[in-house]
Structure 1
Amino acid sequence: MLADGTPAILYTGIDRPNINYQVQNIAFPKNKSDPLLREWVKPGYNPIASPEPGMNATQFRDPTTAWYADGHWRMLVGGLKGDRRGVAYLYRSRDFKTWVRAKHPLHSALTGMWECPDFFPVQVSGQNGLDTSESGTKYVLKNSLDLTRYDYYTVGTYDNTTERYVPGNPDGDYHRLRYDYGNFYASKTFFDPVKRRRILLGWANESDSVTYDKAKGWAGIHAIPRKIWLDPSGKQLVQWPVEELEKLRGKPVSVSHKVVAPGEHFEVTGLGTYQADVEVSFEVSGLEKAEELDPAYAQDAEKLCGVKGADVRGGVGPFGLWVLASAGLEEKTAVFFRVFKGGSGQHVVLMCTDPTKYSETSYATSLLSLFVNLHACMHVTHPPPASCPSFA
């Protein structure tokens, strides 16, 4: 939003017919008094940023939210230099109309094309967020990697004099963190000035075939909005579904203090809906039986989930839920946990999903969707603390 309160949208367009020549444009609301801002107009001075000689014009897209400091607006544009170097190009403007590319990118790394970059400050303590134009001790740089189709981020520092970002972890560019270890891509955050929070929105692309996508009428879903903030360690972000989701809850169905023996299951009845928000806590005994965590999977939880699927018995686990299940359990999706022994006497909890027992045909026909909000609590002694019930 500009200094006079005018909203603006920065977006990528294609500037030449039959050529994927990407440029950055701007649009303003036709009627600022419309609370929904339903109509937008494009000024005649578009584009505001175009590829220059030596830049890959087909890999130049997705401008970030602009921020203001020291008399200049700034924005990032994702790009690719050569075959492998992902680039966050930095642009500056005094009037939000004429933009000039900085001599050096804000940051780059040998990770492939950087789509949908996002850059924002974070507070070092507490859960409040910061406006994009506020100064922070630490910053988050996130990119969607076209090679893997996942979202990765690093936490580091930003010097607006040298216009450089430096990840806090020296190996951060190659051992990056992910917002979500499921199917989550092309995410974006925004600052909520009313509740002083930063909210994360992302896209979950589905794995159905084109045929079933057409039958359903969509090919992806918008993931649940999440509030994010910096962990007290300062090394990673913490996230939680936004509190407004509580308003979507209807009639509750509760089951408590249920003992489930190995190999057994029980059905939670009375839901009567195609959407459910599930809040469940597990009390687990016998953690000494947990398997040792293979160091080869220490940085790849997703791969370990695939190797240790829902049908592979372990020392502690798998345990969890079957959702979207047919009456005879011929079809079901497992959301399950495993516990491993980590270093220094600690345990590592792995949360996985296994949709392999659910067919495309059934999904396309029933159009089911599920919101799962799992709280996993591990206990060796009884009773568990009041803050973490046995089963709720």
Structure 2
Amino acid sequence: MYYNGVYHEFYQYNPDGAFDPNDSLMNMVWGHSVSTDLINWIGLEPAIEPDTPSDICGCWTGSATILFGEQPVIIYTGLIDRKANQVQNIALPKNRSDPYLREWAKVGNNPVIQHVIPGLNSSHFRDPTTGWIGPDGLWRIAVGAEVNGIGTALLYKSKDFMNWTRIARPLYSNNALNMWECLDFFAVLPGSNNGLDMSSQIPSGAKHVLKVSINSCDMYIVGVYDLKRDEFVPDTVQDDNRLWTRIDYGTFYASKSFFDSKHGRRVIWAWSNETDSYSDDIAKGWAGIHSIPRTIWLDGDGKQLIQWPVEEIYLRLRESTLCRLTLR
């Protein structure tokens, strides 16, 4: 997220090492780094750690949303036991005057969303999206799930972002897929590289994009958001998920986008697992890197996402080139 002049990147981090074959997923914390230019980053202490009953076995993926009144809030998946049963929790910054928002506190009513849905696989119920506002003024999020063996984006509503009610109809589901990870849902204007803030009114003519992470790749479909039914309607229904469009054809997974209010753009980046062996990961001291942040938008015909490295990359490259030319 971008908040008060600072970019915050939160990410899955194992503080005990690059790889732990027994508990690599059961001791995840939320790593936290900050930047003012998307190039130079300062690593901070973890923002969220597994220390309450609602996340005691790991703090998994979630999203940051900035509420009215400039209140940042994190909603994330917590593992409540070694069977990987999952619930959704909320954390707030302890001190909003701290420019880096170093410390976060979990709310007292966690978990705010539990796995009490008929047919839900409670170990496949995770990764809530950034919140968005509906025409009724209520907040909405989607949570990836497997319900009766079907990949589903469950939809929840809230007035205060703390108390959530599930909508009977999912945001979208597809019986050709199982669990959907790392959902992302955002609005775009065809042919415009300006980003849209999902917490504001979306202009007419906008499309929506639903991105899911599955089968080691990130795939998306473009469509419209039916406000009356609270439902995502794809422009083209593809029952075979192999026909969905991929964001990237490399090792690019679990991507997440956010609206950058500083530059009026939507920025996306992802995790790349580098395809190294476990022994290599241990030797180098890390497992996985982050992709370069990219601006992402929809092409003019409204069918395909376009992406390009953020302009800060080029400004830095130009500065480096001029410096080398001067030294010569």
Helix, strand or coil for the counterpart of 1:95? coil
CA shift for structure 1 position 97: 1.2
Aligned position for 1:206: 274
SS at match of 2:282: helix
1:240 aligns to what?
Answer: 308
1:313 alignment counterpart: none
1:76 counterpart (142, 149, 169) = 142
Q: Does 1:94 align with 2:162?
A: no
TM-score by length of 2: 0.73
Q: For residues 112 and 140 of structure 1, what CA distance do their matches in structure 2 show? A: 19
How many angstroms does 1:132 deviate by? 1.4
Residues 138 and 53 of structure 1: CA distance in aligned 2, closer, same or farther (over 3 Å):
closer
CA 161–173 in structure 1, closer or farther in 2 if over 3 Å, else same = farther
| 2:189 equivalent to 1:123 | yes
Q: 2:299 aligns with which of 231, 239, 244?
A: 231
Alignment of 1:335-346 (within 5 A): none
Structure 1 residue 176 displacement after superposition: 0.6
Instruction: Confirm or deny: 8 A CA contact 1:129 1:197 kept in the other structure.
Output: yes
Give the drift of 1:94. Answer: 0.9
Equivalent position to 1:9, from 45, 70, 74? 74
Partner of 2:143: helix, strand, or coil? strand
Per-residue deviation at 1:140?
Answer: 0.3
Gaps of 5+ in 2: 1-65
Q: Per the alignment, do residues 128 and 183 of structure 1 end up closer, same or farther by CA in structure 2, a change over 3 Å counting?
A: same
The aligned counterpart of 2:130 is 65
Give the C-alpha shift of residue 44 in structure 1: 0.6
Letter in 1 for 2:229: T
31 and 218 in structure 1: CA distance in 2 versus 1, 3 angstrom threshold: same
Structure 1: which 4+ aligned runs deviate by more than 3 Å?
Answer: 250-253
The 5 A counterparts of 1:205-354 are 205-249=273-317, 251-252=320-321
Aligned CA-pair RMSD: 1.7
2:108 aligned residue (15, 33, 44): 44
Residue of structure 1 in register with 2:217 after alignment: 150
Partner of 1:24: 88
How far residue 219 of structure 1 moved from its aligned partner, in angstroms, is 1.1
Measure the CA separation in 1 of the matches of 2:132 and 2:320.
43
The alignment partner of 2:123 has SS state of coil
Aligned residues of 1:154 and 1:173 also touching (Cα < 8 A): no
Give TM-score, length-normalised by structure 1: 0.61
Pair 1:165–1:11, CA change in 2 (3 A)? same
Specify the code of the residue in structure 1 equivalent to 2:180. W
Native 8 Å contact 2:142 2:183 kept in 1: yes
CA deviation profile, 1:213-262 (whole Å, cap 9, x unmatched): 10011111100100011101110111000011124326449xxxxxxxxx
- Find the residue that maps to 2:71 and give its secondary structure: coil
The aligned counterpart of 1:35 is 99
3-state DSSP class of the match of 1:180? coil
Highest relative contact order (Cα 8 Å, sep 6+), 1 or 2?
A: 2
Larger strand proportion of the pair = 2
The question of whether the paired residues in 2 share the 8 Å contact of 1:167 and 1:173 is answered with: no
Would you say the 8 A contact 2:191–2:301 is kept in 1?
no
How has the CA–CA distance of structure 1 residues 100 and 183 changed in structure 2, closer, same or farther, with 3 Å as cutoff?
same
Structure number with bigger Rg: 1
Secondary structure of 1:195's partner? coil
The whole-number CA distance in structure 2 between the counterparts of 1:238 and 1:40 is 35
Secondary structure of 2:182's match? strand
Distance 1:194 1:169, change over 3 A: same
Opposite residue 186 of structure 1, the aligned amino acid is A
Q: In structure 2, give the amino acid aligned to 1:142.
A: K
Alpha-carbon separation, structure 1, partners of 2:137 and 2:96: 25
**Residues 258-316 of structure 1: CA distance to partner in whole angstroms, max 9, x if unpaired?**
xxxxxxxxxxxx9xxxxxxxxxxxxxxxxxxxxxxxxxxxxxxxxxxxxxxxxxxxxxx
Q: C-alpha separation between the residues in 1 aligned to 2:93 and 2:247?
A: 32
1:297 counterpart residue number: none
SS in structure 1 at match of 2:313:
helix
Residues 173 and 200 of structure 1: CA distance in aligned 2, closer, same or farther (over 3 Å): farther
Is the partner of 2:67 in helix, strand or coil? coil
1:135, distance to aligned residue in structure 2 (A): 1.7
Report if aligned partners of 2:222, 2:303 keep a CA contact under 8 Å in 1: yes
> How many Å separate the matches in 2 of 1:203 and 1:156?
26
Q: In structure 2, what is the Cα distance between the partners aligned to 1:107 and 1:35?
A: 37
Range with greater deviation from structure 2 (63-72 or 167-176): 167-176
CA shift for structure 1 position 170: 2.8
Moved more, 154-163 or 164-173: 164-173
Match of 2:20 in 1: none
The share of aligned pairs that are identical, in percent, is 50
